[in-house]
Amino acid sequence: MEYKQLVAFIKKEFRHILRDPRTMLILLGMPIIQIILFGFAISNDVKNTSIAVLDPGQSVTAQRIIKRLDASEYFNVTYILSHPKEMTPLFQEGKIQMALLFNDRFDDRLFHTGDASIQLLTDASDPNQASMVAKYATTIIASCQQELVKELRIPMQIIPEIHMLYNPTMKSAYNFVPGVMGMILILICAMMTSIAIVREKEMGTMEVLLSSPLKPSYVIFSKVIPYFALSVFNLVTILLLSIFALEVPVSGSLFWLTMLSLLFIGVALSLGILISTLVRTQVAAILISGMVLMIPVMLLSGMIFPIENMPLILQYLSNIVPAKWYIRAVKLFMIQGASAKYAIKEFAVLSVMLVVLIFISLKKFKDRL
Amino acid sequence: MKIKVSHLTKAYGTTDALQDISFQVPDGQIFGIIGPDGAGKTTLFRILATLLLPNSGTATIAGFDTIKDYKKIRNIIGYMPGRFSLYQDLSVIENLELFATAYHSNIRENYHLIKDIYQQIEPFNDRMAGKLSGGMKQKLALCCALIHKPEVLFLDEPTTGVDAVSRKEFWEMLRKLKDQGITILVSTPYMDEASLCDCIALIQNGTFLHIDTPGKIIDSFPKRLYAIEGDQRTQNLQQLRNNPYIDSVYLYGDRMHLTFKEDPDPHLPEVVLVTPSVEDCFIWLMKKDSYE
Amino acid sequence: MNEATIQVQKLTKRFGDFTAVNNISFEVSTGEVFGFLGANGAGKTTAIRMLCGLSKPTSGWGRVAGFDITREPEMIKKNIGYMSQKFSLYDDLKVWENIRLFAGIYGVPHHTIATKTDEMLQRLGFASEKNSLVKSLPMGWKQKLAFSVAIFHKPKIVFLDEPTGGVDPLTRRQFWELIYEAATQGITVFVTTHYMDEAEYCNRVSIMVDGRIDAIGTPKQLKQQFESESIDEVFRKLARRATRKEV
């Protein structure tokens, strides 16, 4: 008798989801689209980028830098310019993506004043690509400078003048797959679960259900199970896509990756239930899950911005974001191919979070209005 | 007594939703709570349906306390909230089956109870509840509240926004349910529905103005009530307000109702003595209440 | 009664093969209080939407406040007021903020709004509530205020969609006195209601059944015509004719 109720309510929940095809399409399509989008970003790797150089002084150091750039796998020096004007058509025709302009007394300045600058001009019509190119070039120039300091034993500084801001998205795009996994799971489990429960409050159906002998925990359970199923489905899609379409390997244990994901899904679902006990309207549920979950997941989990570069206070704050621990462990398993014992800390943290969240949301869940 | 309520009080913050409400409903009666929106009807229903806790006072349903024995009460009541509270994206039959399951019942078990009402919506079994008309939704909601054969039925404003014909039909259904022995607590803002209840409470600003049978409430009207026909009602109303003989005068359907301070004004020969309605009583009680 | 502010000829609205409003014709004169009755689903809402210029008729012709409902809907919107139980005023704005907002929307000259607001609140006896949030007002006050706001810009016609639903009987009567007051000032009042006693307060009523207007006239005429004691009875006699499957 009891299980019949649960089955009936789970069925009902699936009906709600299936009869709202738009939402379902978004839920099932989003991971695919995100993976493909980020997969596209991967193909933007800097390799054999054509550059032009202008070195009117033909100084020794400048030539050394140019050779070094050309020798790297990242750049090909395809044009030697004699006047800055020549650069514009090359950029416009897309023949080069970067130009290096040296001062005509480059060595002179470097050895006498101790600092000289190189102008780095990049084609910023694709800002991500441009900043990536600039970053690679700067790194090569910097290593050249270090060698010079060692060889000549005089303090000097080469300043590459780039007119672009440091773009942190230059981290290896491999990192996006774990990030997307964390985000999708939080979104579906926490946001959709909380919306589904709050909708019952908003529509007034919760009032009728609570006044019936139906156990309130069944209401919750019947919400959790369909979204759990959806999350598992999405998880499988993401993994298949990243392995076969993006060729991101799962170099570690697939078993532990799955266990970790199930644990994280549990955390996200209990977060969703917790949110649903705190708010009364669907709009509030969306706002809270958006503000409290999505933004921290994107900003504080290390998905976009490296945690190491954050101010200390944000680094501390990032510790309470479940997705941070999840994403970190996923990276361990997927990319670094680590075994489970290296992720014990992440497992432990997520388990504690799960227990605490379930405890709080059970305490908070009322069987009255 | 099927429902016993004593000294129930509920406040939200500083506003009192209910103040010291007491009443009793015997087995198998239709008890009407009559009053405007915001008078506290919904709060009262939610407390009795074990959905809200009162600040003070007690209430029992079939002998069970609404606070201690709320789980037992949930097995024996049917509750239809003021808003349409079914799943709009589930079909008629899916809603009905779902609510039957919630009460450990099924449609066949108590089919006889809902048969009359259900037959009217059965042709639309596969239609989504959200696509039904107002009257149909209300019938479906009633079926869902009845499907487990409750001992007590709570209907919070079941006829609001429903047209006069559907309202009449609805009350006929309630009479039949009463004959089956179900105790019904129903609220309404329509005064004309009062006479269809066995007993009524007039509620305003969280307090009961009066509790009695509709007949006795009408008998308690303290003055003689007169009516006057008038096509030019607006102009007449102002004139009559200034008439020194007249205590009160207000519009009532196609005529005006008036009471005199002592004797009728001899210059108004066209007035006729009429029996007050529950609405007249409510107006009088409201005025009295605001003077006190 | 003088010239007509609403004239409707053979107005029809179809949605697919469903005829929501079926060939209705009527006139409403200036300053008249006109009751527009009908069971749920009879087509009242669709008809009102066409009259307010919110929906184009499938066929037929109509003029409201002197403007063609098909060709000049924007002019109609400027010359009417509208109030319903569902939407009237913003709960989280103050009384005077609501008045200023709606007056502004309807193009009341800015310099006159302040004085007119005070005048209106004085007349309603709400002067002390000028700075209160609308949500803190009792239900009945809100409705009266909403009505006054709907006629603040002196429209030729005001459409009231179940304005008194859920309001106590005393306030309902005060509300109707406001309606009469507006009518004597020459504002045509077009009102729907589920309270049949209120139908008796109207100068004329029409009753819609299955998208048609099956009866129109003064309450007295209708009661005679259908040999009934009250409009309630007339309404029930007519509504029972409905054959339209409830949708």
Q: Which of A182-191, C18-27, C167-176 has the highest mean predicted lDDT (pLDDT)?
A: C18-27
Burial class (CB in 10 A: 0-12, 13-18, 19+), A352: exposed
In a domain, C6, yes or no: no
Contact C134, C121 (CB under 8 A): no
Contacts of C138 in chain B (CB under 8 A): 38
> What is the tally of structural domains in chain C?
1
User: How many Cβ atoms are within 10 Å of B16's Cβ, its own excluded?
Assistant: 17
Q: Greater confidence, A168 or C135?
A: C135
In a domain, C158, yes or no: yes
* CB atoms C195 and B190 under 8 Å: yes
* CB atoms C166 and B166 under 8 Å: no
Q: Which of B74, B89, B94 lies nearest to residue A212, judging by beta carbons?
A: B74
Contacting partners of chain B (3+ CB pairs under 8 A): A, C
Among B72, B77, B79, B89, most A C-beta atoms within 10 A, so best to mutate, is B89
Q: How confident is the model at residue A57 (pLDDT cuts 50, 70, 90)?
A: confident
Q: Which of C166, C181, C230 lies nearest to residue B253, judging by beta carbons?
A: C230
Contacts of C40 in chain B (CB under 8 A): 133-135, 161-163, 166
> Lowest mean pLDDT: which of A13-22, A77-86, C23-32?
A77-86
d(CA A33, CA C42): 47
Q: How confident is the model at residue A324 (pLDDT cuts 50, 70, 90)?
A: confident
What b-and-e string marks burial along A304-331, b requiring 16 or more CB atoms within 10 Å of the CB? ebebeebeeeeeeebeebbbbbbbbbbb
Q: Do chains C and A touch (3 or more CB pairs under 8 A)?
A: no
d(CA B19, CA B1): 22
Q: Which of A334-343, C134-143, C155-164 has the highest mean predicted lDDT (pLDDT)?
A: C155-164
Contacts of B86 in chain A (CB under 8 A): 205, 208
d(CA C182, CA C147): 10
Tell me the average pLDDT of chain C: 90
Structure-token pair, residue A8: 């009936």
Contacts of A214 in chain B (CB under 8 A): 102-103
B51 near A CB under 8 A: yes
d(CA A368, CA A366): 5
Q: What are phi and psi of A124, to 5 degrees?
A: -90, 15
B129 near C CB under 8 A: no
Judged against a pLDDT cut of 80, whether residue A110 lies above it is answered with no
B67 near A CB under 8 A: no
pLDDT digits (tens, 9 = 90+) for A302-315: 666 666 667 888 88
Ranges of beta strands (E only) in A104-175 are: 115-122, 157-162
Ranges of beta strands (E only) in chain C are: 4-15, 18-29, 33-38, 59-64, 67-68, 80-84, 157-161, 188-192, 204-209, 212-217
> Lowest mean pLDDT: which of A114-128, A134-148, B106-120, C44-58?
A114-128
> Lowest mean pLDDT: which of A108-112, B48-52, B153-157, C220-224?
A108-112
d(CA C89, CA C100): 11
Contacts of C166 in chain B (CB under 8 A): 36-38, 160, 189
Name the residue type at position C103: A
Contact A190, A275 (CB under 8 A): yes
| Residue of chain B whose alpha carbon sits nearest to that of A17 | B89
Structure-token pair, residue C29: 């004169």
Tell me which long-range contacts C13-22 makes (C-beta under 8 A, separation of at least 24). C13/C43, C13/C46, C13/C47, C13/C50, C13/C55, C13/C57, C13/C58, C14/C58, C18/C247, C19/C211, C20/C46, C20/C211, C21/C46, C21/C47, C21/C50, C21/C57, C21/C211, C22/C210, C22/C211, C22/C212
A3 near B CB under 8 A: no
Judged against a pLDDT cut of 70, whether residue C21 lies above it is answered with yes
pLDDT digits (tens, 9 = 90+) for B86-119: 999 999 999 999 999 999 999 998 898 899 889 9
B237 near C CB under 8 A: yes
* CB atoms C39 and B166 under 8 Å: yes
> Lowest mean pLDDT: which of A86-95, B210-219, C120-129?
A86-95
Q: What angle do CA A310, A314, A319 make, to 5 degrees?
A: 115
The H or E element containing residue A278 is helix A254-278
Contacts of B133 in chain C (CB under 8 A): 40-41, 246-247
Q: How confident is the model at residue B288 (pLDDT cuts 50, 70, 90)?
A: confident
pLDDT digits (tens, 9 = 90+) for C141-160: 888 999 999 999 999 999 99
CATH number of the structural domain spanning residue C100? 3.40.50.300
pLDDT at A303 (0 to 100): 66
- The percent of residues above 70 in pLDDT, for chain C, comes to 97
Measure C167 CA to nearest chain B CA, in Å. 5
A75-81 vs B64-65, strand pairing mode: unpaired
Judged against a pLDDT cut of 50, whether residue B273 lies above it is answered with yes
> Lowest mean pLDDT: which of A169-178, A211-220, B207-216?
A169-178
pTM of the full structure: 0.81
State whether ipTM is beyond 0.85: yes
Nearest partner of A59 among A138, A139, A158, A178, judged by Cα = A158
- Domain span at residue C177? 30-54+80-239
Judged against a pLDDT cut of 80, whether residue A171 lies above it is answered with no
d(CA C206, CA C51): 15
Residues of C with CB under 8 A from a CB of B: 38-41, 138-140, 162, 165-171, 173, 176-177, 180-181, 183-184, 194-197, 200-201, 219-220, 230-232, 235-236, 239-240, 246-247
Q: What angle do CA B53, B54, B58 make, to 5 degrees?
A: 110
Judged against a pLDDT cut of 50, whether residue C193 lies above it is answered with yes
Average pLDDT for C17-29: 94
pLDDT at C212 (0 to 100): 94
> Lowest mean pLDDT: which of A323-337, C50-64, C70-84?
A323-337
Domain ranges of chain A: 49-165, 171-368
B254 near C CB under 8 A: yes
Residues 6+ positions from A350 with CB-CB distance below 8 Å: A260, A263, A264, A267, A322, A325, A326
Q: How confident is the model at residue C1 (pLDDT cuts 50, 70, 90)?
A: very low
For chain B, give the number of residues: 292
| Residue of chain A whose alpha carbon sits nearest to that of B95 | A12
Q: Greater confidence, C81 or A93?
A: C81
Contact B40, B17 (CB under 8 A): yes
In a domain, C159, yes or no: yes
Judged against a pLDDT cut of 50, whether residue A168 lies above it is answered with no
| Residue of chain A whose alpha carbon sits nearest to that of B43 | A369
pLDDT at A305 (0 to 100): 66
Q: Do chains B and A touch (3 or more CB pairs under 8 A)?
A: yes
* Dmax (CA) of chain B: 69
Q: How confident is the model at residue C208 (pLDDT cuts 50, 70, 90)?
A: very high
The torsion of the CA quartet A89, A91, A95, A99, rounded to 10 degrees, works out to 110
A366 near B CB under 8 A: no
Judged against a pLDDT cut of 60, whether residue B216 lies above it is answered with yes
Measure A216 CA to nearest chain B CA, in Å. 11
Q: How confident is the model at residue A161 (pLDDT cuts 50, 70, 90)?
A: low
Name the residue type at position B55: N
pLDDT at A170 (0 to 100): 39
Measure C24 CA to nearest chain B CA, in Å. 21
B46 near A CB under 8 A: yes
Average pLDDT for B160-179: 88
Judged against a pLDDT cut of 60, whether residue C35 lies above it is answered with yes
Average pLDDT for B247-275: 86
Name the residue type at position C69: I
Q: How confident is the model at residue B80 (pLDDT cuts 50, 70, 90)?
A: very high
Q: How confident is the model at residue A263 (pLDDT cuts 50, 70, 90)?
A: very high
Judged against a pLDDT cut of 90, whether residue A61 lies above it is answered with no
Tell me, which fold does domain A49-165 have in CATH? abc type-2 transporter like fold (3.40.1710)
Q: How confident is the model at residue A84 (pLDDT cuts 50, 70, 90)?
A: confident
Contact C42, C48 (CB under 8 A): no
* CB atoms A203 and B101 under 8 Å: no
In DSSP terms, which residues pair with B18 in a beta bridge? B10
Q: Which of C40, C200, C247 lies nearest to residue B163, judging by beta carbons?
A: C40
Measure B185 CA to nearest chain C CA, in Å. 18
Nearest partner of C84 among C161, C20, C25, C7, judged by Cα = C161
| Residue of chain B whose alpha carbon sits nearest to that of A9 | B98
* CB atoms B36 and C140 under 8 Å: yes
- The percent of residues above 70 in pLDDT, for chain A, comes to 86
Judged against a pLDDT cut of 90, whether residue A328 lies above it is answered with no
In a domain, C219, yes or no: yes
Whose tokens are 């450990």? That residue is B104
Give CA B80 to chain center in angstroms.
12
* CB atoms B101 and A8 under 8 Å: yes
Q: Which of A131-140, A189-198, A269-278, B178-187 has the highest mean predicted lDDT (pLDDT)?
A: B178-187
Contacting partners of chain A (3+ CB pairs under 8 A): B
* CB atoms B164 and C239 under 8 Å: yes
What b-and-e string marks burial along B212-229, b requiring 16 or more CB atoms within 10 Å of the CB? eebeebbeebeeebbbbe
| Residue of chain C whose alpha carbon sits nearest to that of B233 | C201
Measure B69 CA to nearest chain C CA, in Å. 33
d(CA B55, CA A264): 41
d(CA A262, CA B173): 52
B102 near A CB under 8 A: yes
Q: What angle do CA B202, B204, B210 make, to 5 degrees?
A: 30
